[in-house]
Amino acid sequence: MTDNFKQALKEVFTPGKAKAEEALNVTAAKASDKNQDLSINKSDEAKEQEKAKKKVNIQPESKKNPSAQPSHKESAGLHKNVITKDTKILGSITTQSDLEILGIVEGDIESKGNLVASGHIKGKVICNSAEIASAVIEGDLDITDNLIIKVGSQINGMLYAKSIHVSGQVTGDITAKSEVRIHSDACITGNISTPTIMVESGAILRGKIEVQKDIKVRNESLNKALAQ
């Protein structure tokens, strides 16, 4: 009798327990699915963030606008002005910039920059430094720093500079504050005054050479121009 009663109780209460266990299992499964969904969402979010970082890293650097940040020369106004071969100027030139002369200028030239000349100039030249390459100049050259006269150049005028290198033909006196170098292919007709002189074999000199200290270069006009 006792066994039958226990069996009846078991049959009555067991289905409820099974249902409760089944409900718990479903709830746990849902919680697990929710956690898995959250984990997947977090993983996807992390991947998106990583992609965003990569996109930022691979973006090319934007090119700086050169006009926004002018170079030192631009800020100082030292552009180069070019007188082309087919150009002829009748009149003086005054500029703050470097100057390249390939054509013809009939007039004085005054520049606070550097001069490169391979054309024809009829007039006085005042500038910071000068390179004369196969040019013809009829006038004095008043140079603050270095003067280089290359082969094929012809100059008829006085030369004043800190240092002077001559490889062309010069008719006129030469005065240098630092040194004069006369190369083998130079032909000079005029007197030379300088603290130091070097003459290569083969050079032609027609004039007196005066070597003395404290040479005062007569470039007062250039000093006034630079002081303005």
- How far is Cα 226 from Cα 76, in angstroms, rounded to an integer? 14
Among 141, 128, 133, 132, residue whose Cα is nearest residue 173 = 141
Share of the chain above pLDDT 90, in %: 57
Residue type, 10: K
At 196-228, the pLDDT tens digits run 999 999 999 999 999 987 666 554 544 554 455
With 0-12 / 13-18 / 19 or more C-beta atoms within 10 angstroms meaning exposed / middle / buried, residue 154 is: middle
According to DSSP, residue 212 is labeled: -
Q: What is the pLDDT of residue 172?
A: 97
Please give the model's pTM, rounded to 2 decimal places: 0.61
Rounded to whole angstroms, what are the CA distances from 156 to 50, 101, 134? 75, 17, 14
- Please report, for the chain, the start and end positions of each structural domain, with discontinuous segments joined by +: 1-60, 77-227
Rounded to whole angstroms, what are the CA distances from 175 to 62, 159, 172, 180, 194? 53, 6, 10, 8, 6
Which three-class secondary structure state does DSSP give residue 169?
strand
Q: What is the pLDDT of residue 63?
A: 45
- Looking at per-residue pLDDT, the higher value among 171 and 66 belongs to 171
